[in-house]
Amino acid sequence: MPSELITDRLLSGYLCREAGCLNTQLPRRRKSLSELMAEEAPQVLLADGSTHFFRKKELREIAAVVDSAEHSSMLLPLIIEVRSAEGDIAIQSETPGEGAMLAVFAGMPLAERAGCFWLSRRQVGILRRRLRTTTQYVFIA
């Protein structure tokens, strides 16, 4: 069965490279909510060298929901992980206020397990409609 292992490794390599191509829109460095609020034109540099701009309205809406003490620790854009093997969708939680903020924008409580908020496709759609520029997808093979 060695040929099957090689094929699986090859396929796995192809999938990883494909996922890498899909993820060129990710930021090189995320910025805190407070940093972005202070910028005239809030933006981050992306892995492909282009620039991603944030809508000030979205930043203000997030700032209104999140405790002001967490503005300097909340990093944006929020990364929505799409895991192809399981078909799961999750957002890693980095600050205590993220879960509460996400629940407010989703309009419903979110399932939390092991530091991640697990989302249904419906919840992702709702979040993306309300937080179009402050969320981004990452595809994990």
Q: What is the pTM of this model?
A: 0.81
- Write down the pLDDT at residue 77: 94
Q: Are strands 78-83 and 135-140 parallel, antiparallel or unpaired?
A: parallel
20-68 per-position pLDDT tens digit: 667 778 888 999 999 999 999 999 998 888 999 999 999 999 999 999 9
Q: The domain containing residue 47 runs over which residues?
A: 2-140
In total, how many domains does the chain have?
1
101-110 per-position pLDDT tens digit: 999 999 998 8
Give the closest residue to 62 by CA, choosing from 118, 133, 112. 133
- Write down the pLDDT at residue 3: 46
